[in-house]
């Protein structure tokens, strides 16, 4: 079968041209059941690379340095979907505080998210991969509290009020 590749340091490299994107569908296939691993050799101009295993619902940070993530090991069955894996790039690019000029404050305490000074609108809570885990209306009262049942991790809380969006990262401590 014909191939096209470039050469760098006597290595054949795949020519990969795609629109700039943060999520890449990967294909994997093997004719043998067994244990396999996926790793990256180097990471350049990418703040973070996270591999999603859609079969196990796991997310694994890939990094050439094993102390920062390393290889992802998985069991492959010949009947598994070849589109089992997705690669998410640059997923941590949200600013630390986009609400500096508003009176809104967002904080988390255990499994509770507190929003003070919000206007009438909607609150959306997403995981770092962008999946919405909670969507609720807010009434514009001085303080809103939302009890969540989430795993320990960083979540993004967005308040949408008309065309204005406020967002903040919070740390949720799971049970």
Q: What is the CATH number of the domain that holds 161?
A: 2.60.40.3080
β-pair partners for 122: 137, 160
> Residue 75 forms beta bridges with which residues?
35
How many folded domains does the chain comprise? 2
Domain end, chosen from 56, 89, 122, is at: 89
Q: Model confidence over 114-130: pLDDT tens digits? A: 888 777 888 888 887 77
Q: Measure the CA–CA gap between 52 and 87, rounded to whole angstroms.
A: 6
In terms of domains, do 65 and 130 share one? Answer: no
Over the stretch 48-82, which tens digit does the pLDDT of each residue have?
A: 677 889 898 887 878 776 655 678 899 999 999 98
Does residue 168 lie in a domain region?
yes
Q: Which residues contact 79 (CB under 8 A, 6 or more apart)?
A: none
Name residue, tokens 């079969």.
55
Which residues form the domain of 23? 5-89
pLDDT score for 12: 60
100 domain-assigned: no
Is pTM beyond 0.75? Reply is no
- Nearest-CA neighbor of 76 among 26, 41, 28? 28
In angstroms, the CA 19 to CA 3 distance is 21
């Amino acid at each position: 079968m014909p191939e096209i590749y470039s050469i760098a340091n006597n290595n054949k490299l795949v020519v990969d041209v795609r629109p700039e994107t943060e999520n890449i569908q990967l294909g994997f296939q093997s004719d043998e059941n067994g244990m396999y691993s996926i790793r990256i050799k180097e990471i350049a101009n990418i703040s973070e690379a996270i591999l999603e295993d859609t079969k196990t619902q796991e997310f694994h940070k890939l990094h050439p340095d094993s102390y920062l993530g390393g290889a992802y090991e998985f069991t492959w069955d010949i009947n598994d979907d070849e589109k089992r894996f997705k690669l998410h790039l640059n997923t941590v690019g949200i600013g630390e505080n986009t609400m500096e000029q508003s009176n809104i404050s967002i904080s988390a305490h255990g499994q509770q998210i507190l929003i003070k000074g919000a206007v009438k609108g909607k609150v959306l809570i997403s995981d770092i991969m962008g999946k919405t885990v909670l969507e609720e209306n807010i009434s514009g009262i001085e303080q809103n509290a939302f009890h969540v049942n989430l795993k320990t991790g960083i979540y993004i809380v967005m308040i949408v009020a008309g065309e204005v969006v406020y967002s903040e990262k919070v740390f949720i401590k799971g049970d």
